[in-house]
Structure 1
Amino acid sequence: MAASGRKKSTAGVAAARRPEVRLPPLVPYEGEGLEPDGDYDGLRFDGTDLTDASGRGARFLDCALESCALDRTELARARFIDSVLTGVRGVGTDLAEASLRDVEVVDARLGGVQLHGAVLERVVVRGGKIDYLNLRKARLKDVVFEGCVLSEPDFGDAHLVRVEFRDCVLKRADLSGVRLESVDLRAVAELDIARGVDRLAGAVISPPQLMELAPAFAAQIGVRVEP
């Protein structure tokens, strides 16, 4: 795996470094469930039902998870490195304090994912829909959300560095206490901030987005706007 070089956007904003995951020939996973602190290297999980499985602290290196069921799967403090998750689905997946580095998540359908306290570095989330994504106190560096729908994501007290949102929908996002550095929101298809509009320092938005957010900005500083 080799990460792509960092680029500058047209406005001089530091662009996120994207992962370039090149998986080696993979061996089909033939086990059942997961093991806490398990070590999974060079495996393909193809349609594996991991419902209620416990892989707390497990390590996934050079792995592909394809169309796997992750309902209530416990993956707290798990590590995903140089891996691709495609078409995974589930509700209540626990990835609290997990580490994702050089990872692609494609067309996921997830709800109530717990990623609070997690560390994401060089991660792309492309397509799919994630409801109630909990990223409180998480650290995101060089992360791209692209063409996906994030419904009521919680970024409370998280730290985002070089994060891009491209052609995606942000519905009722909670930015309470968030810290932003070189976060690019200009290409968001729909930007809906429920809380924390005052925490947008460090983000870049477009002129049309500024007009849409003007009432929220005015309310934040106590300005009344009347005809």
Structure 2
Amino acid sequence: MRDGGTGSGAAAGAAGAGRARRRSAAAAVAKRAEVRLPPLSPYGGGLDPDGDYDGLEFTNLDLRGEEGPGARFIDCALRGCGLDETVLRRARFVDCVLSGVRGVGTDLSEASLRDVEMVDARLGGTQLHGATLERVLVKGGKIDYLNLRKSRLKDVVFEGCVLSEADFGGAELVRVEFRDCVLRRADLSGVRMKDVDLRTVAELDIARGLDRLAGAVISSAQLLRLAPAFAAQIGVRVEDALD
């Protein structure tokens, strides 16, 4: 009876440990942004440095070259706006939706985005270096040459989008998920990762920083595709044996 009790206790302990691991894995899933905007007032003006924008809807506005460093957007929607060379350095976006925005060279360096949804964006050379992104959803669209160097991403989901030559150099990624994305020629130099999920990335192409994947989870198929690069990283030469 004592032996049976010991076995039962061990089994129960193992089951408990398994449940704890599952709970831990569940807790590591990114907290998805869910923005529910109040009724918004239409806005037709430009941007001002340190401007306050609360409960406003920017629709199909040409904001190219506008300067709004330090501006604050709370409960706002930007839909179909042009952001070519728009300066929003150190701006804050809280509970906002950016839908169908487009532009080249948008400056969002050192900006703060919290509870933000970015949908179907078409952007190139966007500067987000030194920025803080928390509970952000980037869904659909295509972003080329995204600069996220030394930024901090926490609870961020990239879903169904194309990221071409994104630069994550020196960034910190915590609970970040890439779902059904294309991640092409990504630079992961100096990145710190914790609970980063890459398993459903459709195209995983890492230009630099392959050794910084500690803290990420990839699929077995991705591992096979990356195996030659991993071997090269540690100096292993792969050759078939001669007959």
Measured against the shorter chain, the TM-score band is over 0.9
Match in the other structure for 1:22 = 36
* Bigger Rg, structure 1 or 2: 2
CA distance in 1: counterparts of 2:97 and 2:44, whole angstroms: 18
For residue 172 of structure 1, give the secondary structure of its aligned residue in structure 2: strand
* CA displacement, residues 33-69 of structure 1 (integer Å, 9 cap, x when unaligned): 2000000000000001100000100000000000000
The answer to which structure has the higher helix fraction is: 2
Shift of 1:9: 8.0
Map residues 175-214 of structure 1 onto 2, 5 A cutoff: 175-214=188-227
Match in the other structure for 1:3 = none
For residue 128 of structure 2, give the secondary structure of its aligned residue in structure 1: coil
Report whether the alignment pairs 1:79 with 2:74.
no
Shift of 1:20: 1.3
CA distance in 1: counterparts of 2:176 and 2:223, whole angstroms: 19
Match of 1:207, as an amino acid?
S
Shift of 1:19: 1.3
The two structures have a TM-score, normalised by structure 2, of 0.88
Match of 1:150, as an amino acid?
L
CA distance in 2: counterparts of 1:20 and 1:170, whole angstroms: 24
What is the aligned length? 219
Find runs of 4+ consecutive structure 1 residues off by over 4 angstroms: 8-11
Percent of aligned pairs with the same amino acid: 76
Which of 82, 87, 90 is 1:69 aligned to? 82
* CA displacement, residues 136-181 of structure 1 (integer Å, 9 cap, x when unaligned): 0000000000000000000000000000000000000000000000
Match of 1:90, as an amino acid?
G
The two structures have a TM-score, normalised by structure 1, of 0.94
User: Do the aligned partners of residues 216 and 10 (structure 1) sit closer, same or farther apart at CA in structure 2, a change above 3 Å counting?
Assistant: farther
Match in the other structure for 1:148 = 161
For residue 156 of structure 1, give the secondary structure of its aligned residue in structure 2: coil
Match in the other structure for 2:139 = 126
Map residues 23-38 of structure 1 onto 2, 5 A cutoff: 23-31=37-45, 33-38=46-51
CA distance in 1: counterparts of 2:59 and 2:121, whole angstroms: 14
Match in the other structure for 2:67 = 54
Match of 2:39, as an amino acid?
P
Contact 1:9/1:15 (8 A) holds in 2: no
Shift of 1:10: 9.8
Match in the other structure for 1:173 = 186
Which of 105, 121, 124 is 1:111 aligned to? 124
CA distance in 1: counterparts of 2:67 and 2:44, whole angstroms: 16
